[in-house]
Amino acid sequence: MKLRMLSVVVTALMATSAYADDHQEGVYLGVFGDYYKADWENSRDAAGVTVDDSMGWGAELGYRFSKYWSARLEYADMDFDLSGLRSDSVDGDRIGIDGLYHFNGGPFYALFGLKSIDVFDNNTFANVGAGYRHHFSDNFAANFETAIYQGVDRGYTDVGAKLGINYFFGGASSSKPVEPAPAPQPEPVAVVAAPVDTDKDGIYDMDDQCANTPMSDAVDAQGCTLYEDKEVTVSLLVRFPNNNSSVSQQYLNDIQAVVSFLNEHPETTVVLEGHTSAVGKADYNKWLSKKRADAVAKQLIEKGIDEMRITTVGYGEERLKNTDDSAQAHAENRRVEAKVKSVERVKVKR
């Protein structure tokens, strides 16, 4: 309950703080109320006695060396509650030294030190903690802090809290607001025109070496249309009746497609491969298959294809497509085949 009241007080002080920096170098003197929570059992000079909490007061003398560091000497008069004796309390005192580190030179600080507490017997403690100091004026301030105490002689672990008032000797605190320097006049800023991409291909005009690229085309770093090589082919299959080399009218459109492809790709040539079924003599079939290939070649030449671009080969029955001995298999084998390939350079689409 006592510790809770101290916390309420320091919270109120923090809420009304008007100083962002309590840096005030020099000597200061402080007095404080002190709460110390102990739980010591079987002290050396008081067997069977438990030392409990203490409420007391104290004084401290400190010196602020710089924005970040200060040190102090401390004395506290303590009144401990007891368990296990007729008397329910005992006097004690605490003396010690602390170093304080002030975060960014502001009101919050961390502390560390050594203390000697004398009650029944003398025990040495190392302590660490944190605090807050609020300045009412250049010389007066209130502070609140709490710390953990760890016994060096014996394994006691205690906590304590202090609420105090400090008086700083010396001149005005550096925590007062400083008039800000006048803001420098801004330098004139040159206005630069935004870059333009007229053909909307993602390359600004200043870097675009190919103006007005179609929106459907992918482009390179210079804004020019990207191309890729693509293989294109055309195939031809012409079938023949038994023992016949005449080209049926039904295949003229297919032959025209080959003619158009050859005209579009003048670097290409075509090999016409003639075949027969396995019916009849092999020598005769060889002659017949060549005659069939020549008949298709004649159609290409009549439609304007240079005969130097055409090669005819007769395989006879050497390359049967269907090896069955049936009318359907023989019909499949009586044929002329061709396949023409070329590589086109085509646009890459976005």
Residue 44 is predicted with a pLDDT of 59
Residue 333 is predicted with a pLDDT of 95
Residue given tokens 């502001």 in the structure block: 106
Residue 175 is predicted with a pLDDT of 47
With 0-12 / 13-18 / 19 or more C-beta atoms within 10 angstroms meaning exposed / middle / buried, residue 276 is buried
Residue 82 is predicted with a pLDDT of 80
Our CA dihedral for 122, 1, 109, 116, rounded to 10 degrees, sits at 0
Residue 219 DSSP label: B
Report the chain's terminal Cα–Cα distance, integer Å: 75
Length of the chain: 350
pTM: 0.44
**Closest Cα partner for 70 from 172, 166, 163?**
166
Number of Cβ within 10 Å of residue 32's Cβ equals: 21
Q: Is the dihedral of CA 117, 123, 124, 130 positive or negative?
A: negative
Helix, strand, coil fractions of the chain, as percent rounded to 5: 20, 45, 35
What residue ranges define each of the domains in the chain, with the CATH number in brackets? Answer: 2-168 (2.40.160.20), 201-225 (no CATH), 227-347 (3.30.1330.60)
What tens-digit pLDDT sequence spans the chain (350 residues)?
A: 444 544 544 454 444 444 444 456 789 999 999 999 987 876 656 666 788 888 999 999 999 988 899 999 999 999 888 876 656 788 889 999 999 999 998 899 999 999 999 887 788 999 999 999 988 888 888 999 999 999 898 888 999 999 999 998 875 444 455 567 788 888 887 777 888 888 888 888 888 888 888 888 888 888 899 889 889 999 999 999 999 999 999 999 999 999 999 999 999 999 999 999 999 999 999 999 999 999 999 999 999 999 999 999 999 999 999 999 999 999 999 999 999 999 988 888 88
Residue 346 is predicted with a pLDDT of 86
